[in-house]
Structure 1
């Protein structure tokens, strides 16, 4: 008998009706039964709320009110989450298959690892596969792994709720990078699922604000690793880019 391990899946959206259906349908189609599904909508003025109502039987909690941005909305989701693990699946992103969570948690036994992670595929708006994510996940994810960049996609990073802090709202574009590092700083055991967990929509908030995001990441890395390690890491990034 499969052990009951619960997960809170949180979808944050604002005027994203075009992409949102894919995400709602993906969560609704999961065969794994122990899911708390939370949707945090920023008081959308498009047809998002009508679409959400179509899936109301699959949604455990809906919050629809103005917020101060994506990370403020994510914090609202964290506040009401009750699962053993948390997963952020934003509008346009989907689980790789209907059995993703069932297949994943069939591997997991107590004592629970602090972070479960896996691979990510990049897809277009029609859900067509484009490529694997450029950075591969490390065999063993640690606090120092992010010196090589964000080696695990935020949507394929499932931390134990007990370790989860709120997002730092002083970062507008890369607070997820800081959030993952804060969790990994406390984690003692991480688990590589060796699975593709997420199909990630190619265009997102961070990619639309790429330069600002990179500047924030530099600040975040300096805060966590110090200036010298951050400088050397970015020197390596530059060399890697030239080689490619």
Structure 2
């Protein structure tokens, strides 16, 4: 097996300048993400909050991803490139490398608002989960809509914006990391475990993370199936879980049909006025 490629100021035995306050660790996992990775990196390194370490876990990219990572190597705490067993495994590798009090995970095609970490830290409490709002963008660069979380319905479905979530490192130590058996809804499974354990969730009512629309379609239906499995695992198998699963599948298919028709205004009305997870256009 080939040795992992690695770098960062830890490898070079350098220390960042001394800073005070909560140490925040941000993790980005990436595989062949050269198209948007640089924007992601810049959004982390340009945060107004400076007591931050940045770790990148690459899955063995074959495009220009490593060139981009090396460009910022002196500002990265650590980076590694080697094959992994999927998203959950890559997340766990990153978590095992952090030294901060609070851990955020930023996807390789998303980006933070410049004051995202500062706004999170302002609400920080030990042993908590902090989360905020997410802004969506169209491919032409125009704003699409903003999504606000709804913690009350987390036991029913994924109602938080995972790219905005920051988790106390001590909670990973106490309750475990991501389950490798989940390929799509690993974030929901983790948050549900923390929620069921009585962990405090704190909403920061600010845009934390930006995300593009119009990329490769996600396996939404596969994700719903894993959400059902997570609920059955955490809360026990219940008929209500199965019924809600069928409801979410029906809701998704109807919305897909309406979105591609002259009746798209119906789904827009639902999302802004009726849906428990409100979107602002």
Equivalence for 1:114: 128
> Any unmatched runs of 5+ in structure 2?
1-18, 255-266, 271-281
Q: What's the secondary structure of 1:9's corresponding residue?
A: strand
Runs of 4 or more above 4 Å deviation: 238-243
Cα offset, 1:29, TM superposition: 0.9
Task: Give the counterpart of 2:86 among 59, 69, 85.
Answer: 69
Contact 1:87–1:156, Cα closer than 8 Å, also in 2: yes
TM-score scaled to structure 2, two decimals?
Answer: 0.75
CA distance in structure 2 between the partners assigned to 1:12 and 1:217 by the alignment:
22
Cα offset, 1:233, TM superposition: 3.1
Equivalence for 1:4: 21
Are residues 1:98 and 2:118 paired? no
Are residues 1:214 and 2:204 paired? no
Task: Give the counterpart of 1:47 among 64, 79, 101.
Answer: 64
Contact 1:147–1:230, Cα closer than 8 Å, also in 2: no
Cα offset, 1:170, TM superposition: 1.1
Q: Once structures 1 and 2 are overlaid, which stretch shifts more, 42-51 or 118-127? A: 118-127
Equivalence for 2:40: 23
Equivalence for 1:84: 101
CA 1:234–1:201 in 2, change beyond 3 Å: closer, same or farther? same
Are residues 1:149 and 2:149 paired? no
Task: Give the counterpart of 1:132 among 146, 152, 158.
Answer: 146
Cα offset, 1:137, TM superposition: 1.6
Cα offset, 1:39, TM superposition: 0.1
Are residues 1:182 and 2:196 paired? no
Are residues 1:32 and 2:43 paired? no
CA RMSD of aligned residues (A): 2.4
> Any unmatched runs of 5+ in structure 1?
none
Matched positions, count: 233
CA 1:13–1:238 in 2, change beyond 3 Å: closer, same or farther? closer
Structure possessing the higher relative contact order (Cα contacts under 8 Å, 6 or more residues apart): 1
TM-score scaled to structure 1, two decimals?
Answer: 0.85
- Deviation string 1:149-188 (CA, Å, 9 cap, x unpaired) is 2111111111111112221111111111111112222343
